[in-house]
Chain A
Amino acid sequence: MEKGHAATYDEVQKIHPLYFNIVKKRYWWFGLSLLIIIPGIISLFMQGLNLGIDFKGGTMLDVTFSKAVTQAAITDTMKSVGLEGPVQLSNANTNTLIRTSALEETKRNELLTALETKVGTYDKKALQEDKVGPAMGQELTKNAFYALIIAMGLMIAYITIRFEFVFAISGIIALLHDVLVVVGIFSLFRWEVDSTFVAAILTIFGYSINDTVVIFDRIRENATKMKRTESYEDMVDMSVWQTMRRSINTVMTVLIALLSVFIFGGESTRIFSLAMLIGVFSGAYSSIFNASQILVEIKTHLKKKPRSKAVRA
């Protein structure tokens, strides 16, 4: 299988002008990760996520009026048909985003007619409406949860078959890290999450492990050539640095793609691209700084207790 030979540890250190021993400083990286994750987890427990109607159920109407309108006019009109909910104005006060409970068709038509007569005419071709019944929202949450568990199980299985169980566990921990970073940040900043957020989380799940696997692949390759005198830590450090260019450049291209979606893609894909941006960035960080270091940590502990070697797949 092996045909060429990659740069040696000494060479690696010379090629990269910014070289430093990543593996030795691993507790710093773990600390840095915890510094971001822990406030996120606390926020999750304290205030949860700012769930959009996709999860909670409700009706969201995006109405573009022909003239500027006021918040009070909209709220009063809603009150007149017995409704309430937050209203957001944008686009020089012509665009209103109305959120309320899930409306029946008759109620919804009543509201729209009232808006037209009391507030002003609106562009029917630019109307956007999302209605989600409460039951649908629960289903989405449930399905998202199942999907995460199943994806996780399948990935552990795949990595265990292709590498070792220890690799799978390290990879999954790094993955959970990325998910927690994204979910935590969304909770901290109270950014509203919708169904595309679920897609983003799952994609991060799939994509971040991709990065990790490339580094693991190198560790697997180097491990077979390891001499008795060399330490596992140094070998992992070398592997991480050998794949450093690739790790950074790949993430750069994906970030470029995501940034263009975030900036130019419009409102509907903003939550998705924002979650992905954070996730891919965190994924690159955890692949380089966490996954292999967790692997080293587990391996060193296993060495102390030789009996646990049975874990090896």
Chain B
Amino acid sequence: MRRGNIIKLVALVLLVAAAVALSIKPLVDPVKGIPLGLDLRGGVHLVLQAEQDKNGTPITSDDIDKAKAIISNRVNDLGVSEPIVQADYDKKRIVVDLAGVTDPDKAVAILKTTAKLTFRNPQGNIVLQGDELKDARAGQDTTKAGGFVVNLTFSSAGTKNFADLTTKYVGQQISIYLDDKLLKNPKVETPILNGQAEIDNYATLEAAANDAVLMRSGSLPVSMSIAEKRQVGASLGIDSLHKSIQAGLYGLIFIFLFMLIFYHLPGVVADFSLIVYGLIVLWAFCLFRVVLTLPGIAGFILTIGMAVDFNIIIYERVKEEIRAGKSLRAGVESGFSRAFVTVIDAHVTTFIAAMTLYTFGTGSIRGFALTLGIGIIASLFTAITFTRLVLRLTVGINPKINTKWFGVRREV
């Protein structure tokens, strides 16, 4: 029995050590590892509020759906990994999270633009809209060296309309607007029947590409204003990440020492369980794609402090049982079963708080609530399965183990 327990314990320690060693790489993998929020790697968070036009036309859910699809298109053109675009139909909003975007200013400019492409006659009236566009691509100007253009291709209906238009206004000027920005004011030489048009005079390919994205994705059905914007520079995010990891490490080390000093042998068990706890939580983040934010990390560090609680409740209980004259083994068993009720009652209340926070919170606060919730469940799970097993094995090594190892003074 004794030898069996020792072997099992050693095997368990090795198993956990191996799990830790094997987990580090996949967990910090930038693509498949724990997803980092924009406050940890830079990026921008936008809440776009749909605005009613001057006539007060109500905004429908359909409008929001369309706007979401268009914004998603534009976001995909930005080349951001794991972008988040969510629609809030009640409040007529679209929430966009772009973590790791390289040029947040450009992203914001592209996302919020309504991008209504219009063709206007010399009197300034809108005669054709960009909805009939099939494609818009940036390219080099073939006629003029060093210039850049956007090539427009109309849909079949658009081709016909455009042909009618250019026929009607031969010899006159037609202006092309993107929202209120005049792009081009060309004179129609001959009717254009093939549905191709070209907007030239772009200074850089990038400027042409930006406008092409906007024209291609179509115009937003409603105009959007920025209700909330959180922008974090990339280097600032990395700095925050390092600081948080440092805070976590220090917290962990001091909690380890604290448990060792106050609880001796069971303290080691508690510290050991804490490692397993941390591993479970981090893997849960990774597998459920929980985006880790700054408040989220704070929440995680907090739960490390709280996860030890279960051990403390049990050890104090075990101490009491031993003082009352029970053997170590009996003390551990009854301590466990009694402390379990206490722990459940105590943690349900914290869990309630985490869930309400999750329901009512927004953005990074939700991340915090989620980490807190996952932390509570994981700490319960670790305690019931792992801590109990290790404690049983340890006590089983020698039933006459010195109770001083458990930090019990038997003077009473």
Are chains A and B native binding partners rather than an unrelated pairing?
Answer: yes
Interface residues of A (CB under 8 A from B): 1-7, 11, 14-15, 62, 104-105, 109, 123-133, 135-136, 140, 143-144, 146-147, 150-151, 154-155, 158-159, 162, 195-196, 198-199, 202-203, 205-207, 209-211, 213-214, 217-218, 242-243, 245-246, 249-250, 252-261, 263-266, 268-269, 272-273, 276
B304–A257 contact, CB under 8 A? yes
Knowing A125-B42, A250-B309 are in contact, say whether A1-B341 is a contact too (CB < 8 A).
yes
User: Is there contact, CB below 8 Å, between B232 and A257?
Assistant: no
Q: 21 A-B Cβ contacts within 8 A? A: A3-B334, A4-B326, A4-B335, A11-B323, A11-B412, A109-B105, A128-B233, A132-B228, A147-B361, A154-B352, A203-B353, A203-B368, A206-B349, A206-B352, A206-B354, A213-B342, A250-B312, A256-B258, A261-B301, A265-B247, A266-B240
For residue B151, which residues in chain A have a CB less than 8 angstroms away from its CB?
none
Determine whether B114 belongs to the interface, using a CB cutoff of 8 Å to chain A: no
The complex places the Cα of A268 from the Cα of B350 at a distance, in Å, of 24
The closest CB in chain B to the CB of A264 belongs to: B247
With A256-B251, A260-B247 as known contacts, state yes or no: A272 contacts B298, CB within 8 Å.
Answer: yes
Q: Is the CB of B251 within 8 A of A257?
A: yes
In the complex, which residues of chain A have a beta carbon less than 8 angstroms from the beta carbon of B346?
210-211, 213-214, 217
For A126, list chain B residues within 8 Å (CB): 233, 235-236
Known: A129-B229, A133-B49, A265-B247. A146 touches B360 (CB 8 A): yes
* Dominant secondary structure of chain B at its interface with chain A: helix
Interface residue ranges of B260-304 to A (CB < 8 Å) = 262, 294-295, 297-299, 301-302, 304
Q: Is the pair A125, B236 in contact by a Cβ cutoff of 8 Å?
A: yes
Q: Are A129 and B312 in contact (CB under 8 A)?
A: no
CB distance from B248 to the nearest CB of A (A): 7
List, in ascending order, chain A residues with CB within 8 A of B232's CB: 128
Please determine whether A154 and B356 come into contact, CB atoms closer than 8 angstroms.
Answer: yes
Partner among B251, B349, B354 whose Cβ is within 8 Å of the Cβ of A261: B251
Known contacts A196-B295, A268-B294, then 14 further A-B pairs from the complex at CB < 8 Å, ordered by chain A residue: A3-B333, A4-B330, A127-B233, A207-B353, A213-B342, A217-B342, A246-B316, A249-B312, A250-B309, A253-B255, A254-B302, A260-B248, A260-B301, A273-B298
Residues of B within 8 A of A269 (CB): 244, 294-295, 297-298
A305 smallest CB distance to B (angstroms)? 29
Residues of B within 8 A of A245 (CB): 316, 319
Q: Tell me which residues across on chain A come within 8 A of B412, comparing CB atoms.
A: 7, 11, 14-15
Determine the main DSSP class of A at the interface with B. helix
**B361 near A199: Cβ-Cβ < 8 Å:** yes
Name the one of B109, B246, B352 contacting A105, with C-beta atoms under 8 angstroms: B109
Interface residues of B toward A: which range?
Answer: 35 or more
Question: Chain A's nearest CB lies how many Å from the CB of B365?
Answer: 5
Residue of B nearest to A10 (CB): B412
B351 close to chain A: CB less than 8 A? yes
Interfacial chain B residues near A276, Cβ < 8 Å: 302
Task: Return chain B residues, CB-CB under 8 Å to A159.
Answer: 349
Bound-state CA distance A196–B296 (Å) is 11
A261 touches B312 (CB 8 A): no
Q: How far is the CB of B15 from chain A (nearest CB, A)?
A: 26
The residue that B301 contacts in the complex, of A131, A205, A250, A257, with Cβ under 8 A, is A257
- Is B149 an interface residue when CB atoms closer than 8 A count as contact? no
Task: Determine if B32 is an interface residue (Cβ-Cβ < 8 Å).
Answer: no
B227 within 8 A of A: yes
Contacts of B259 in A (CB 8 A): 253
Measured CB to CB, the closest approach of chain A to B215, in angstroms, equals: 20
Contact in complex: A131, B229 (CB < 8 Å): yes
Taking the closest CB of chain B, its distance from the CB of A169, in whole angstroms, is: 15
Tell me whether A263 and B258 are in contact (CB under 8 A): no
Give the residues from 292 to 332 in chain B that come closer than 8 angstroms, CB to CB, to chain A: 294-295, 297-299, 301-302, 304-306, 308-309, 312-313, 316-317, 319-321, 323-324, 326, 330-331
